[in-house]
Amino acid sequence: MTTTAPYGSWRSPISALDLAASGHPVSGGTWVGDAVWWLELRPGEGGRLAVRTAGDNGEPVDILPAPWNARTRVHEYGGGAWTVTDDSALIFAEFTDQRLYRLDRGESTPVAITPADGRYRFAELSIRGDEVIAVRETHTDGSISRDIVAVPLDGSAVHDARGIRSIVSGSHFLAYPRFSPDGSRIAWIAWEHPQMPWDGTELRVADLVDGVGRDQRTLAGSTTESVLQPQWADDSTLTLISDRSGFWNLESLTLDGTRRVLLEERAEYGDALWTLGSIWYHRLDDGRLLTMRTDGDDSLVILDTTTGESRSLDLPLTAISLGARRGSRVMLFGGNSTLATGLRILDLDTGDLEVVRLAVDALPDAGYLPIAEARVFGSTREVHAFVYPPRNADFVAPEGELPPYIAFVHGGPTSRVPARADLTAAYFTSRGIGVVDINYGGSTGHGREYRERLKGQWGVVDVEDTIAAVLGLADAGVADRARLGIRGGSAGGWTVLASLTGSDVFAAGTSYFGVAELTQFALDTHDFESRYLDGLIGPLPEAADLYDSRAPLNNVHKLTTPVLLLQGLDDPIVPPSQAELFRDALEARGIPHAYIAYEGESHGFRRAETIVSATEAELSFYGQVMGFEPADVPRLMLS
């Protein structure tokens, strides 16, 4: 039997506590003997990142015990915060002090192997002989420099940083240190401000003389070509990903500069390098490549580099990222709209897909999960999105009623969303609130031209594309035109605030640690993104007028829509001042709003209590503004 009740008031078995308590995102797996180790976010432990493995009974156990936290702050987004030696010692960057530590098997207390002076951060860790290879970030009197270094595993550099050998430097950003099979050369990618790694990078190679790179030369890439993930095929040949065709495709490159396209399609075989060490392909033992292909959904492709023949693997996954490989077994992270995201192992010989650790303890019954529908909106240009209609096996809406819809706007903005089992979306859809997840112009996954729509147009194209998607749903009779909401975090929060101040389309908006103002933000934000706005808006001081005119803070006089602001007080990327300035402007205008700030939270909420508070506040907020009564959530007080 089903109950008839208004959209938004349906009772759901998916609680905010379920989002927090049962959710534990996993990433970064590796093999240690026959065992699999992975990195797991622990919301119930203050957002700690623990290295874990399966215990004797199959249940996860900690390799890295509390309170240790394997998280690096290089570029603030990190990546490659841990690795394992041949004798199964865990090497990791500890979040609180950013030192490297060693934890030997059978021991419970890690031992530092880098100095305690607070200047250094390390990421993209790997083991080479008796050293840890890393990208090092050095903070000195307000300036930042980076290099690729070798840290002794024996701890001999723990008291003296001079024991850490700098292998190569010479650019502001470096990534992907890769050594040739014979050990005579190192390859890496490099870039400078104002480029971001999806704008332009260079593939560099140097000879190794006494462990130090000499005779650096650039083999590929430029300020307008993004090169990613170099990998040695042999001592004189590299494989790489390049977007010089307009899409990130696979190429081969010899040391004399000869380039050959291995697979060229109007599909992406790479993505935005937000976290160091990201993997988009593997070279298999027989020389073929296993690579991830993105064209709306993700898939896996095996490419024969000799014949150029490729074939897609038949997998039930639409969102995929690659992990470590051993022989024919490859770690995958991903799922689809009804299959939980998590760590799985694919056996390329048999096609078997084995679950290692899911990101949730269990998904709700399928009757409460929305099914993703890929849609294209827009009249003047294509806007790609995934629509998740309301779905609850126990409820239907009164005849003739249209549901409220919330536009989910991803961060980045140079990023994307695939079709996936998203419990946050299900939290809303199971209550009778539709969700549309939008890959607005500027998103990755659709080629360089699509993502460069946002060049100089941030706050314009993203807003127009988001509005085109929600109005497309309303015009099609799918969504209630009077009950359209919008939510987003970080850069997505900017699009929320820009949409609210630049249109009257939305009834309500929620900004999670969103950018509200640009001039001060450019001064306050961290180094990695400090020149990001040059491409998104324009360089300062030439574009100062655009910075002022686009900023939602300077357009609050146009705003009549209620706003919910959610902010971590320890956020180094979008500082609390951004939300507080917007709150003050809302108060001055008398616009209904709420501002909730969370101690101990950074960029992206990790603590269980924060996730519960923010999610329930958001649902109550929509109910008050859109005229429905949510079930089982405390009422948010609006100012």
- Against a cut of 0.85, is the pTM above it? yes
CA triple 88-276-122, angle to 5 deg: 60
Which of the following CATH numbers is that of domain 364-626: 3.40.50.1820, 3.40.50.620, 3.40.50.1980, 3.30.70.20?
A: 3.40.50.1820
pLDDT of residue 379: 79
Residue from 556, 551, 581, 557 nearest 567 by CA: 581
pLDDT of residue 395: 97
Note whether 72 and 90 are within 8 A (CB): no
Ranges in the chain, pLDDT < 70: 22
Strand order in the sheet with 185-191: 173-179, 185-191, 202-209, 212-221
Q: What's the chain's Rg over C-alpha atoms?
A: 24
Domain locations in the chain?
Answer: 34-274, 280-363, 364-626
Distance CA 94, CA 428 (A): 36
- Long-range pairs for 307-316: beta carbons < 8 A, 24 or more residues apart: 308/262, 308/263, 310/263, 313/346, 313/351, 314/351, 315/346, 315/353, 316/353
Note whether 287 and 239 are within 8 A (CB): no
Burial of 15 (0-12, 13-18, 19+ CB in 10 A): middle
Longest Cα pair distance anywhere in the chain, in angstroms? 77
Residue from 381, 375, 360, 378 nearest 419 by CA: 375
What is the per-residue pLDDT across 174-199, written as a single tens digit (0 to 9) for each?
999 999 999 999 999 999 999 999 99
Note whether 541 and 549 are within 8 A (CB): no
CA 71 from chain centre, in angstroms, equals 15
Residue from 406, 402, 414 nearest 386 by CA: 406
Q: Under CATH, what is the fold of the domain 34-274?
A: Neuraminidase (2.120.10)
pLDDT of residue 177: 98
The secondary structure element, H or E, covering residue 583 is helix 576-589
Strand order in the sheet with 131-140: 120-128, 131-140, 143-152, 165-168
pLDDT of residue 399: 96
pLDDT of residue 339: 87
What is the per-residue pLDDT across 574-629, written as a single tens digit (0 to 9) for each?
889 999 999 999 999 999 999 999 999 988 888 889 999 999 999 999 999 999 99
Tracing tokens 């314009």 back to the chain, one arrives at 460
